[in-house]
A and B are shown apart, each in its own frame.
Chain A
């Protein structure tokens, strides 16, 4: 890769020092420099700031005070683990439900003729053009007491459903609804790794539909399913709007705690300490999944 790029760099005849410096490092490095700078400034620097702040005394607004562990101790003494627990629970159950909901859809899109698959894909992507909060508020209007659903049913039958929001299942529903594309598309990519003739061969060997699914389709599509699950788990760990809109305070997620620490609470070190824990949690989920499962082997490319 770098060799090919090296050849693209023009080498003028002049022996200026500037040229020598450019030649000192491979062309790939120079090509990557802009994005590297952006990542350092936009990603690594804020992360370091958060890390520094998390060790500052309560209520401090400077990252350069005397380091302390009191914020981390507060997390456990002030029962922040409850919101951690809720977030983990929501992320786990949503990811599981997303897997179940997306799988048949992914299979159907994979099977559909290219034109129909495109239409289906567009239909699934289209809601992403509308802001998440607006869509969630739409669901509130639909599901709330005297909302579209309750109102219509009451008008037609006289029977009152009442409010379907302000509960945990409504929050889970919101998360599953919002993050569906993040599970679906990696899953479709995973299913694309299952050659149709391999499935036919399994059927020819006498495999039942269930055996075919368990022994052939699932293991071969696993990388895609795993990536989708990881994506959904990590982003729903930071889910926020769903519990705010559909939960209306029935529970507090860790993202809400972090937000209120930074804004309402004006306690940046506490918000930072909570953030660091979320990052560690998400990071270790990714790390574990990637270590446990050999993607190359699953893709049949191991050599």
Chain B
């Protein structure tokens, strides 16, 4: 990574009439980084990427590419390129014509185009004998590779991805996620990827930016976002979590509906808010004296989640989720739950 960021966003806003789509997003992206913007639908991530690519202009703020303001530079004059959610392949062209199109626009001769296009096809794991195949005859996964090869042929400074994998089946998606990461490492290019799946973001990214309601809520390495979510939204966006409304009471936290006292997570002060605990951090109490408050409930459901088992435990009006490794011994009692204070997260919301 070089010292100067390849892309900088400075307080970027985008309004559509009165609707705020993106609000005060400030962000630096380093050269060669795999950066993922993740957020639920309507969080403004697509609007943001459209501005970065040059298909929309920001209402306020600046977008800088290698230090130069590019707010008003149209998409076809930017050294960046996007893989669309719909892939936007040219349906009347063959695989090779699709991949070679950016080179054709640049005026390369036919032989040079073919040579370069075939290199990019190989990089995207497409056999070169697909060159003359109509793109309409390709499978879903092959089309993904065509779109990627076409973007690579453009040889952009930054490659953008707008949820291109969302329509694929799970297995293919996992395979392509890993391939994409490998290609990014191999080419050393800056990739900016948007998705609504934090799981997808975790697999590929060097850093993740979580968006909600037009704002960039948290930016950090996948590990940091997982370990230390900045607020309740981020913690809940990670997946299924247990949420306990609590009130501060004598340096501890009381959950009124459970009538139980919990310890404050280390380094935090007791406040009114919510305590969030991941299902894998919950555990059943069997025998040993618990170090924290105990939730008394009744186990009523088990789900097999591949390598893990999820238990559902009802306590009063609340339902707790507990996850264990599949090969671990089944709990003797499925009624008493606890968690370590260091595994719980306290938010003021």
Partners in one complex: yes
Q: Which residues of A contact B (CB under 8 A)?
A: 195, 197-198, 200-208, 211, 215-216, 219-220, 297-298, 300-303
B81 pairs with A204, CB closer than 8 A: yes
A200 pairs with B92, CB closer than 8 A: no
With A203-B75, A303-B136 known, 16 other A-B pairs at CB within 8 A are A195-B88, A197-B84, A201-B89, A202-B90, A202-B105, A203-B74, A205-B105, A215-B90, A215-B104, A216-B90, A220-B92, A298-B92, A300-B91, A301-B136, A302-B134, A303-B137
Whether, in the assembled complex, B82 has its beta carbon less than 8 Å from a beta carbon of chain A, the answer is yes
Residue in B82, B86, B102 whose beta carbon sits within 8 Å of that of A206 in the complex = B102
B106 pairs with A300, CB closer than 8 A: no
A200 pairs with B75, CB closer than 8 A: yes
A219 pairs with B84, CB closer than 8 A: no
Question: Do A211 and B105 form a contact, CB below 8 Å, given A195-B88, A197-B88, A298-B92?
Answer: yes
Residue in B82, B90, B104, B136 whose beta carbon sits within 8 Å of that of A204 in the complex = B82
Question: Do A219 and B86 form a contact, CB below 8 Å, given A206-B76, A206-B102, A208-B76?
Answer: no
Nearest chain A CB to B164 CB, angstrom units: 12
Residue in B53, B55, B88, B154 whose beta carbon sits within 8 Å of that of A198 in the complex = B88
Question: Do A207 and B76 form a contact, CB below 8 Å, given A197-B86, A202-B101, A303-B137?
Answer: yes
18 contacts between A and B (CB under 8 A): A195-B88, A198-B88, A198-B89, A198-B91, A200-B75, A201-B90, A202-B101, A203-B75, A204-B82, A205-B81, A206-B102, A206-B106, A208-B105, A211-B105, A300-B136, A301-B136, A302-B136, A302-B137
For the complex of A and B, list the 8 residue pairs with the smallest distance between their C-beta atoms, beginning with the closest.
A300-B91, A201-B88, A205-B102, A197-B88, A206-B105, A203-B76, A207-B105, A204-B75
Whether, in the assembled complex, B150 has its beta carbon less than 8 Å from a beta carbon of chain A, the answer is yes
Nearest chain A CB to B37 CB, angstrom units: 18
**A-B pairs with beta carbons under 8 A, tally:** 71
A198 pairs with B90, CB closer than 8 A: yes
B91 to chain A: closest residue by CB = A300
- Alpha-carbon distance A297/B134, docked complex (angstroms): 9
Q: Which residues of B contact A (CB under 8 A)?
A: 53-55, 74-77, 80-82, 84, 86, 88-92, 101-102, 104-106, 134, 136-137, 150, 154
Nearest chain A CB to B334 CB, angstrom units: 51
- Alpha-carbon distance A204/B160, docked complex (angstroms): 11
A301 to chain B: closest residue by CB = B136
- Alpha-carbon distance A202/B92, docked complex (angstroms): 13
B154 pairs with A206, CB closer than 8 A: yes
Nearest chain B CB to A133 CB, angstrom units: 42
A204 pairs with B101, CB closer than 8 A: no
Nearest chain A CB to B167 CB, angstrom units: 14
Nearest chain A CB to B315 CB, angstrom units: 49
Residue in B55, B75, B89, B101 whose beta carbon sits within 8 Å of that of A215 in the complex = B101
A219: B residues at CB distance < 8 A: 92
Nearest chain B CB to A25 CB, angstrom units: 37
B84 pairs with A201, CB closer than 8 A: yes
A216 to chain B: closest residue by CB = B90
- Alpha-carbon distance A303/B82, docked complex (angstroms): 28
A200: B residues at CB distance < 8 A: 55, 75, 84, 88
Nearest chain B CB to A193 CB, angstrom units: 9
B150 to chain A: closest residue by CB = A205
B80: A residues at CB distance < 8 A: 204
**Which of B75, B81, B90, B106 counts the most chain A CB atoms within 10 A?**
B90
B101: A residues at CB distance < 8 A: 202, 205, 207, 215
- Alpha-carbon distance A200/B50, docked complex (angstroms): 11
Nearest chain A CB to B101 CB, angstrom units: 6
- Alpha-carbon distance A302/B88, docked complex (angstroms): 17
A220 pairs with B76, CB closer than 8 A: no
B53: A residues at CB distance < 8 A: 204
- Alpha-carbon distance A31/B75, docked complex (angstroms): 54
- Alpha-carbon distance A297/B91, docked complex (angstroms): 9
- Alpha-carbon distance A204/B137, docked complex (angstroms): 24
- Alpha-carbon distance A298/B92, docked complex (angstroms): 6
- Alpha-carbon distance A202/B147, docked complex (angstroms): 12
A219 to chain B: closest residue by CB = B92
Nearest chain A CB to B131 CB, angstrom units: 18
Nearest chain A CB to B342 CB, angstrom units: 47
Nearest chain B CB to A2 CB, angstrom units: 28
B160 to chain A: closest residue by CB = A204
Nearest chain B CB to A70 CB, angstrom units: 50
A204 pairs with B86, CB closer than 8 A: no
A298: B residues at CB distance < 8 A: 92
- Alpha-carbon distance A200/B56, docked complex (angstroms): 11
- Alpha-carbon distance A246/B77, docked complex (angstroms): 50
- Alpha-carbon distance A204/B102, docked complex (angstroms): 9
A220: B residues at CB distance < 8 A: 91-92
- Alpha-carbon distance A26/B217, docked complex (angstroms): 64
Nearest chain B CB to A22 CB, angstrom units: 42
A198: B residues at CB distance < 8 A: 88-91
B78 to chain A: closest residue by CB = A204
Nearest chain A CB to B150 CB, angstrom units: 7
- Alpha-carbon distance A301/B91, docked complex (angstroms): 9
B76: A residues at CB distance < 8 A: 203-208
A216: B residues at CB distance < 8 A: 90
- Alpha-carbon distance A215/B76, docked complex (angstroms): 15
A201: B residues at CB distance < 8 A: 82, 84, 88-90
- Alpha-carbon distance A303/B136, docked complex (angstroms): 7
A195 pairs with B154, CB closer than 8 A: no
- Alpha-carbon distance A269/B232, docked complex (angstroms): 90
- Alpha-carbon distance A208/B137, docked complex (angstroms): 28
